[in-house]
Chains A and B, each alone.
Chain A
Amino acid sequence: MQQVSLLLASLPDGILLGLVYGLAAMGLTLIWGVMNVINLSHGPIIALGMFGTFFLFIRMGINPYIGLFVIAALGLLLGILIYAAAVHRVINAPHLSSLLATFSVNMIIIGLGTAVFTTSPYNVDFNMGSFRLGPITLLGTRLIAALVAILYTGALYLFLYRTRPGKFIRAVANNRDAAELMGVPSTRILALSFGLGTMLAAVSGALIATFFPFSILSGGGYELKSFVIGVLGGLGNPLGALLGGLILGLLEGIIPAFLETSWVPVIEFALFVVILLIRPTGLFGAKR
Chain B
Amino acid sequence: MSRKLLALTSLFAIVALVLAACGPAATTAAPTTAPTEPPKATAEEPQATAAPTQAPAEPTLVEKTVTIGFTSSLTGAQEVSSKRQVNGFNLWMNQINDAGGLELADGTLVKFAAQTYDDESTKERVQELYTRLITEDNADFLISPYSSGLTAAAAIIAEQNGKVMITVGAAEDDAYKQGYANVFQLYTPGSLYLISTVDMLKQLDPEAKVAIVHENDKFSTSVVSGLKPYLESQGFEIVLEEGYASDTTDFGPVINKLAESGATVLLGGGHYPDGSTFARQLYERKVGLKFISLLVAPADSKFPELGDAALGVSTSSQWELKATHTEEEAAALNIEWYGPSGTDFAAAYEATFGDKPTYHAAGGYAAGLLLQKAMLDAGSADPEKVKAALEAMNIFTFYGGIQFDTTPEAHGLQISHEMVVAQWQKSDAGELVREVIWPADVATADPLYPVPAP
Contact = CB atoms under 8 A, between A and B. Distances in A.
A9 B259 contact: yes
Contacts of A118: 74-75, 79
B250 A262 contact: no
A212 B249 contact: yes
A213 interface: yes
B80 A256 contact: no
A119 B253 CA distance: 26
B24 interface: no
Interface string A116-139: 001111010101001010010101
Interface residues of B, number: 34
A257 B253 contact: yes
A10 interface: yes
Contacts of B277: 121, 212-213
Nearest to A254: B253
Given A10-B256, A121-B80, A221-B247, A130 B284 contact: yes
B244 interface: yes
A265 B245 contact: yes
A69 B286 CA distance: 31
Most chain B CB within a 10 A radius of its CB, from A5, A114, A118, A119: A119
B280 A2 contact: no
Contacts of B79: 118-120
A104 interface: no
Contacts of A14: 253
Most chain A CB within a 10 A radius of its CB, from B256, B284, B285: B256
Interface residues of A, number: 38
B446 interface: no
Interface in A108-162: 114, 118-121, 123, 125, 127, 130, 132, 135, 137, 139
A54 to B, nearest CB: 11
A121 B285 contact: no
B260 interface: yes
Contacts of A137: 285-286
A5 B261 CA distance: 11
B253 A252 contact: yes
A118 B272 CA distance: 15
Interface in B240-254: 242-245, 247-250, 252-254
A2 B239 CA distance: 13
B216 A262 contact: yes
A251 to B, nearest CB: 11
Nearest to B249: A212
Most chain B CB within a 10 A radius of its CB, from A2, A9, A139, A221: A9
Contacts, number: 96
Contact of A13 (B76, B253, B306): B253
Given A9-B260, A121-B80, A261 B253 contact: yes
A43 interface: no
Contacts of A17: 250, 252
Nearest to B216: A262
Contact of A261 (B74, B248, B260): B248
Contact of B244 (A10, A255, A257, A261): A261
A218 B272 CA distance: 14
Interface string B62-101: 0000000000001111011000000000000000000000
Interface string B256-268: 1101100000000
A127 B283 CA distance: 10
A121 B250 contact: no
A261 B260 CA distance: 15
A2 B276 CA distance: 28
A123 B248 CA distance: 15
A10 B260 CA distance: 11
B257 to A, nearest CB: 6
Given A13-B250, A256-B253, A6 B273 contact: no
Contacts of B74: 118
Contacts of A135: 256, 259-260
B307 interface: yes
A114 B242 contact: no
Most chain A CB within a 10 A radius of its CB, from B76, B244, B247, B284: B284
Contacts of B256: 6, 9-10, 13, 135, 256-257
A27 interface: no
Contacts of B245: 261-262, 264-265
A130 B306 contact: no
B305 interface: yes
A252 B245 CA distance: 13
Nearest to B80: A120
Interface of A: 2, 5-6, 9-10, 13-14, 17, 114, 118-121, 123, 125, 127, 130, 132, 135, 137, 139, 211-213, 215, 217-218, 221, 252-253, 255-257, 260-262, 264-265
Given A261-B245, A261-B253, 17 more contacts: A5-B260, A17-B252, A118-B74, A118-B75, A119-B77, A120-B302, A125-B305, A125-B306, A135-B260, A139-B284, A217-B75, A221-B249, A252-B250, A253-B252, A261-B243, A261-B254, A262-B216
Top 4 nearest A-B pairs (CB, nearest first) are: A256-B253, A9-B256, A13-B252, A119-B75
25 contacts: A2-B260, A5-B260, A6-B260, A9-B259, A10-B252, A13-B250, A13-B252, A13-B253, A17-B250, A17-B252, A114-B75, A119-B75, A119-B76, A135-B259, A213-B249, A213-B277, A217-B75, A218-B249, A221-B247, A261-B244, A261-B253, A261-B254, A262-B244, A262-B245, A264-B245
Interface of B: 74-77, 79-80, 216, 242-245, 247-250, 252-254, 256-257, 259-260, 272-273, 276-277, 280, 284-286, 302, 305-307
